Chains A and B, each alone.
Chain A
Amino acid sequence: MNEVRTQPIPEATVASKVAVADGDIHPARQGPKDYHPWLSQRWQAHLDEYGSPARQGWQVGPAYPKSQPNASRRDAYPPEGGRPGSSLGFMQQQHLDTNNVALGILNPLGSGQGVQNPELSAALCHATNEWQLAEWTSKDSRLRASVVVPYEDAVASAAEIRRYAGNPAFVQVLMLSRTAEPLGSRKYWPIYEAAAEAGMPVGVHAFGYGGNPVTPGGWPSYYIEEMTGHSQCQQAALTSLIIEGVFERWPTLKMVMIEAGFAWAPSLAWRLDKHWKTLRSETPHLKRLPSAYMRERVWWTTQPMEEPEPRAHLLDTIEWLGWDRLIFATDYPHWDFDDPAHALPVRATEEQRRAFFLGNARNVYRGCGA
């Protein structure tokens, strides 16, 4: 089943396709040596001898085996060899040109985030950032990088953000959602301080290993449960950010919730409002309804799009959320890729489609204005 079949690449039809932003592209390394130009001898030797364990038990691979090798589309293997997402040329041909991607946000995974050794985590994250510049953004002007930070060490993370604050190739700070503590925890505040100062949104991508079971009732059995569970992780993270007062403290801070769905957000907002009204004596630092912070300060990338039957139900959800809140994303080259040609099967006005596919991203990411 793992045989890679070559599929014909559709002709690029840029002229006939609306330009899109892609809020979630995953560039991949060929192997650990790709980072060597930016890693000291010490860390190169350390990786060789001890690896880079996170808070899960396998030496190699995720806690739950994925559904496909590298969690990737089987047609995304570059013809010259290597992992899906590791060839800029093939990514351009298969995705950026074909789908008329005008702005692509790079979210490198497996980059050292969540690695237990804090100094190694910081070194790997820094190498990832330099690698994005050298191998990606400097070679394709449509691509923008995320400052990958060793988020369990917020002071080191803030230093990394400030290092790139003046570099227009970086438009976002990247965290993962499976943190050791809820995202609103004071432990992470230096990250928000530095991000707000740099004018970059903080993107929170699904995945990571913070050591907590992926459900609050213990470890489930299946990969499908872990995948579905990322939305609960992000609901908890967003609840924490709001209730701890992060948005109140940094009035310009923006968050982008990446790859964990968005249809859950209206219900979470209603629930937060209802119970905050009853319990507001506990959080006098909040000056507004929880939903007000969500409505103005939080965005969601769209992939994997929820697919209700009938599809029109999704229109209600987007209207509750706001058409200005969504950033189209494909998750290239992963298996659950959303194709821009089919991703929005609900009736929408031309203005709504433009916001959904491109305009919102241009508004959120610094220096990407039309």
Chain B
Amino acid sequence: MSLLPAGAIDCDIHPSVPSVEALMPYLEDHWREQVIIRGIDELNSISYPLNSPLTCRADWKAASGRPAASAEVVARQALDPFGTSIAIANCLYGIQLLFSEDMAAAFARAVNDWMVKEWLDKEPRLRASIVVPTQNVEMAVDEINRCAADKRFVQILLLVMGDTPLGRRHHWPIYAAAEKHGLAVGIHAGSAYHNPPTPVGWPSYYTEDYVGQAQAFQTQLTSMICEGVFTKFPHLKVVLLESGFTWLPAHLWRLTKYWRGLRMEIPWVDRAPGDIVRSNVRLSLQPVDGPPDLASLMKLFDHMQSDELLLFSTDYPHYQFDGTAAIPDGLPAELVRKIAIDNPRATYARLMETVG
């Protein structure tokens, strides 16, 4: 097993909202009443069926209720065993699925306030991403501005499948706000399910949905590069979360070939896609959707042409590995150190501001 250096920075863990009751103290009166009179139960997305073997590792399950539902449990299961110095909490609650933008904005405010009080205030090793109502960009920017004063928020959280591709210009105020506040933009696996989760329609099996997340990430990378997001916001850091990463080289080869042939359509893209990725895009480590042997994995790292792209993550409590084997066996110690510490520090501008 490759050893993690002391003080690893885990860039993707998932605290659970234990129940809608837990958010009630953080919802405004109108919305608290709506929850009650309309019988709004849980906003749990089908992206992670509650009892699927992937959604929670067996030894991380709770005796009752949701896993990862308190700061104490997360510290014991996800931070202590890995010697983690900082972990970034990405709350996956179905806010992006809602069709009402007002309701989405209200739940986003509640989740972010709940995150501060129930997690960040209780566990000093935690940082968090700002959940935003992507249904309405103005509301999303309002929420970013509201939360950004708390430096423990280090990132804005988006889902990889929304209503329109993330490069589209109407999303750009979110990126402007990110750049202004020194926040990264994290794009996480999952869908609003407002479009079919594959480009050829709705699949029959959950396995297809989960495997297909990688294709969604490919299309978002295409969109953000082709629309010129990184030309307009050269300091923006975009982090692909729970994306897998072994697809990246082949995707860049294809996109670069078409960029050479079709760049007259997108003349503002003045650098090769691979160069843009190396300066502005990062990917979380887990799940390592890689080849079974170390030699092939090392070739793949070679194809990525940079040791600065990957950020350590456990994807806790999702089941991606056993024990503490979060780093693939046999990786060189220098690379492990970059993945676990140097790369996250270089990616998240705010991370070190809040370290005592």
Asked whether, in the complex, the Cβ of A216 is within 8 Å of the Cβ of B207, the reply is no
| Cα separation A276 to B54 with both chains bound (whole Å) | 10
Establish whether residues B196 and A225, one from each chain, have CB atoms under 8 Å apart when the complex forms: no
Bound-state CA distance A158–B218 (Å) is: 34
Whether B107 sits at the interface, judged by CB under 8 Å, is no
Contact with A along B263-294 (1 / 0, CB 8 A): 11110000000000000000000011111100
Q: Is B203 interfacial (CB 8 A cutoff)?
A: yes
- Across the interface, which residues of A come within 8 angstroms of B165, CB to CB? 215, 217-221, 225
Q: Does A282 contact B (CB under 8 A)?
A: yes
From B216, B253, B302, A306 is in contact (CB under 8 Å) with B253
Check A275 for interface membership: any CB of B closer than 8 A. Answer: yes
Which residues from 62 to 77 on chain A have a C-beta closer than 8 Å to any C-beta of chain B? 67
A282 touching B206, Cβ below 8 Å: yes
Verify if B168 is at the interface (C-beta below 8 Å from A): yes
Spot the interface stretch: A45-53, A174-182, A247-255.
A174-182
* Residue in B167, B199, B208, B296 whose CB lies within 8 Å of A243: B208
Nearest-Cβ distance from residue B310 to partner chain A, whole angstroms: 15
Closest to A317 in B: B250
* Residue of chain B at shortest CB distance from A232: B215
Binary flags per residue of B110-153, CB closer than 8 Å to A gives 1, else 0: 00000000000000000000000000000000000000000000
B344 CB–A CB distance under 8 Å: no
User: Contacts A181-B201, A216-B191 known; A222 to B261 CB distance under 8 Å?
Assistant: no
Chain A positions 34-85 with a Cβ under 8 Å from a chain B Cβ = 67
A199 to chain B, nearest CB (A): 26
Q: For B168, what are the chain A residues with a Cβ–Cβ distance below 8 Å?
A: 218, 220-221
- Taken together as a complex, chains A and B put the C-alpha atoms of A179 and B199 apart, in Å, by 9
Whole-angstrom CA separation of A18 from B216 in the bound complex: 40
Any A CB within 8 A of the CB of B214? yes
A313-B296 CB under 8 A given contacts A213-B199, A220-B223? no
Residue of A nearest to B159 (CB): A217
How far is the CB of B260 from the nearest CB of chain A, in Å? 8
Q: How many residues of B contact A (CB 8 A)?
A: 71
Asked if residues A219 and B164 are in contact (CB atoms below 8 Å), the reply is: yes
> What's the interface size class on A, roughly?
35 or more
Cβ contact within 8 Å between A216 and B219:
yes
- A183 touching B265, Cβ below 8 Å: no
Complex: how many Å from CA A214 to CA B165? 10
- A266 proximity list for chain B (CB < 8 A): 246, 250, 291
Measured in the bound complex, the distance between the Cα atoms of B155 and A192 in whole Å is 47
- Name the A residues within 8 Å of B259 (CB-CB): 224
Does A190 count as interface, using CB distance less than 8 angstroms? no
Interface-lining segment among A9-17, A114-122, A234-242: A234-242
**Which of B168, B196, B197, B292 is the most central at the interface, judged by chain A CB atoms within 10 Å of its CB?**
B196
Chain A to chain B contacts (Cβ below 8 Å), 9 pairs:
A215-B195, A221-B168, A221-B223, A225-B226, A243-B208, A278-B319, A307-B257, A316-B299, A320-B291
B residues at A contact (CB < 8 Å):
52-54, 160-168, 191, 194-208, 210-212, 214-216, 218-220, 222-223, 226-227, 244, 246-247, 249-251, 253-259, 261-266, 287-292, 296, 299, 302-303, 319
Binding site for B on A (CB under 8 A): 67, 177-185, 210, 212-225, 227-229, 231-233, 235-237, 239-240, 243-244, 261, 263-264, 266-268, 270-276, 278-279, 281-283, 304-308, 313-314, 316-317, 320, 335-336
